[in-house]
C-alpha cells in the first residue's frame, strides 16, 4: 500500500517531464525550421536572380560590370553607370547623415533639456515611418525646384574657377541629380542613425560618465573618451543598417535622380541607380535580353549589399576583439 502511494507521485512527475520534453523538442524544431527557412529563402532568391540573368551573363560576362552602355534598341547593356550612381548617392547620404545623426543623439542624451527631449525623439521616430514615395514627391516638387533656382546656380558660380570643385559642381542646374538624390537619402537614413545611436548612448553606464566627470573631464572629453568608445559597436551597427537602406532605396531616388544612364563627375548632373533603373524599366523590358540585364543589375545590387554587410560584421568583430568581449 505504501509502495503504491509512493510510486504515484513518481509516475506523475515522469509523465509531466515527458510532456515538457515533447514541448521543448517541438519548440526547438520549430525555431530551427524558421532559422533554416530564412537561409532557404535567401538561397532561392540568389538562384532565381542568377537563372533570370543567365542570358545577360552569358553574353556580356564580367565586362557587364565596367561597361557604360545601356541601349535597349541595340540590345547592348552595361551596369557601370548604375553601380556608380548607387555607390555615389549612398556615399553622399552617409557623409551627410552620420555627423548629423550622431550629433542629434548626443544632444538628446547629454545636452537636451527634459522638456524638449521627448518631442524631438518622437519627431525622429516619425521621420523613419514616412513612406519613401512621400520623400520622392516632396523632393521632386519642392526640393528640386528650390535647389535649381536658389542653390545650384550660386554654387556653380562660386566654384567656377576652383580646380576639382568646378568639375564637382558643374552645371547646368537641373535641380535633380546625384546631389539631390544623396540629400533625400540622407534625410531617409538619418532617423535610423539618430535613433539607434541615441539608444546605444542611453545604455552607457552612468557610473562611467560620473567617474570621468569626477576626474575633471569636460563634457566633450567624456563624450569622446567614454561614451563613444563604449558605444562604438552599436553606433557602427546603426550606420551599416542605414547604409543598407540607402543602397536599396528605390522610389525616392527614382523621383529626383534624373534617370540618365550616364556617368558624370558633377553632383548636379542627372544619373541613375540600380534600383531606380529596375523600377523605371522593368515594365518596358519587352525582350528577353533586356529583362535579363535588369535582373543581372538586381543580382549585382544583392552582391553589393551582401559585401557591405560582410564588411560590417567584420568591423564589429574587430571592435569586439579590441574591447575584450
What residue spans define the domains of the chain? 2-52, 65-322
pLDDT beyond 70 at 138: yes
Q: What is the DSSP letter of 76?
A: E
pLDDT for 3? 53
1 pLDDT band (50/70/90 cuts)? very low
Closest-CA residue to 259 (of 173, 154, 156, 180) = 180
Angle at 245 between CA 175 and CA 137, to 5 degrees: 35
pLDDT at site 8: 57
- Read off the pLDDT of each residue in 184-213 and give the average, rounded to a whole number: 87
User: Pick the residue with more confidence: 217 or 151?
Assistant: 151
Is the distance from CB of 231 to CB of 319 less than 8 angstroms?
Answer: no
Nearest Cα to 273, choosing from 82, 130, 95, 46?
Answer: 82
DSSP-assigned letters across all residues of 254-283: HHHSB------S-TTS-B--HHHHHHHHGG
In the three-class reduction of DSSP (H, G, I as helix; E, B as strand; rest coil), residue 295 is classed as helix
Residue recorded with cell 542613425: 193
pTM of the model: 0.84
CA 104 to chain centre: 19
Phi and psi at residue 187, to the nearest 5°: -65, -35
pLDDT-derived band at 279, boundaries 50, 70, 90: confident
CATH code for the part of the protein at 65-322: 1.10.3720.10
Read off the pLDDT of residues 200-233 as tens digits, 9 standing for 90 and up: 888 888 888 888 888 888 888 888 888 888 888 8
Amino acid at each position: 500500500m505504501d509502495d503504491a502511494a509512493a510510486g504515484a507521485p513518481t509516475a506523475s512527475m515522469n509523465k509531466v517531464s515527458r510532456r515538457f520534453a515533447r514541448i521543448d523538442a517541438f519548440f526547438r524544431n520549430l525555431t530551427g525550421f524558421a532559422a533554416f527557412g530564412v537561409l532557404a529563402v535567401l538561397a532561392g532568391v540568389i538562384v532565381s536572380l542568377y537563372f533570370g540573368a543567365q542570358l545577360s551573363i552569358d553574353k556580356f560576362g564580367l565586362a557587364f560590370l565596367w561597361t557604360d552602355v545601356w541601349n535597349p534598341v541595340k540590345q547592348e547593356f552595361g551596369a557601370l553607370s548604375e553601380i556608380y550612381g548607387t555607390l555615389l548617392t549612398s556615399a553622399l547620404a552617409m557623409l551627410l547623415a552620420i555627423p548629423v545623426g550622431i550629433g542629434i543623439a548626443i544632444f538628446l542624451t547629454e545636452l537636451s533639456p527634459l522638456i524638449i527631449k521627448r518631442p524631438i525623439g518622437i519627431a525622429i521616430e516619425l521621420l523613419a515611418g514616412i513612406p519613401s514615395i512621400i520623400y520622392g514627391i516632396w523632393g521632386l516638387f519642392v526640393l528640386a525646384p528650390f535647389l535649381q533656382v536658389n542653390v545650384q546656380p550660386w554654387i556653380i558660380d562660386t566654384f567656377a574657377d576652383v580646380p576639382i570643385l568646378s568639375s564637382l559642381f558643374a552645371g547646368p542646374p537641373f535641380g535633380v541629380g546625384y546631389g539631390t538624390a544623396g540629400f533625400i537619402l540622407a534625410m531617409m537614413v538619418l532617423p535610423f542613425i539618430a535613433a539607434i545611436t541615441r539608444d546605444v548612448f542611453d545604455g552607457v553606464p552612468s557610473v562611467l560618465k560620473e567617474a570621468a566627470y569626477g576626474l575633471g573631464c569636460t563634457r566633450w572629453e567624456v563624450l569622446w573618451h567614454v561614451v563613444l568608445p563604449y558605444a562604438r559597436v552599436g553606433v557602427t551597427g546603426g550606420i551599416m543598417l542605414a547604409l543598407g537602406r540607402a543602397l536599396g532605396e528605390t522610389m525616392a531616388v527614382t523621383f529626383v535622380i534624373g534617370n540618365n544612364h550616364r556617368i558624370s563627375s558633377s553632383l548636379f548632373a542627372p544619373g541613375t541607380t540600380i534600383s531606380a533603373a529596375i523600377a523605371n524599366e522593368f515594365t518596358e523590358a519587352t525582350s528577353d535580353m533586356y529583362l535579363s540585364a535588369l535582373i543581372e543589375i538586381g543580382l549585382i545590387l544583392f552582391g553589393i549589399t551582401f559585401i557591405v554587410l560582410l564588411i560590417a560584421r567584420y568591423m564589429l568583430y574587430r571592435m569586439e576583439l579590441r574591447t575584450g568581449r
